[in-house]
Amino acid sequence: MSLATKIAYKPVGLLLGAGAGLAAGLLFKQAWRLAGHDDDAPHATDPDRGWGEILLAAGLQGAIFAIVKATVDRAGAISVHKATGAWPD
C-alpha cells in the first residue's frame, strides 16, 4: 500500500473506529436490558453491586466491543483492498 493511500485511509479509519465505539455502546446497552438488568450497567466502584454483576457487565461489554471493532476493521480492510488492490497494514 502506498504512503498516500495509508495517509488517506487514516481519517476514514478514525471515523470508522468512532462509529464502532458508538455502535458497540448502543448494542451493549440493549443486551444489558435484554438480560433483565437495570438500564445502566454497574460501574466497577458501585458499592451496591456485587462482583458477579460487575464482572458480567465488563465481560459482556468487552466481548461486544471486540466483535464490533473486528467487524468494522475487517470490512474497512476489504473495502480498501477492493478500491486500491492493496491490503492495508
Q: Is the pTM of this model over 0.85?
A: no
pLDDT, residue 81, reads: 84
Per residue in 30-77, pLDDT (tens digit) is 999 998 877 788 899 999 999 999 999 999 999 999 999 999 989 988
pLDDT, residue 80, reads: 82
pLDDT, residue 7, reads: 74
CA–CA distance, 21 with 37 (Å, rounded to integer): 22
Helices 3-34 + 51-84 axis angle, to 10: 150
pLDDT, residue 25, reads: 92
CB 58 within 8 A of CB 52: no
Confidence grade of residue 6 (pLDDT, cut at 50, 70, 90): confident
The count of other CB atoms within 10 Å of the CB of residue 80 is 20
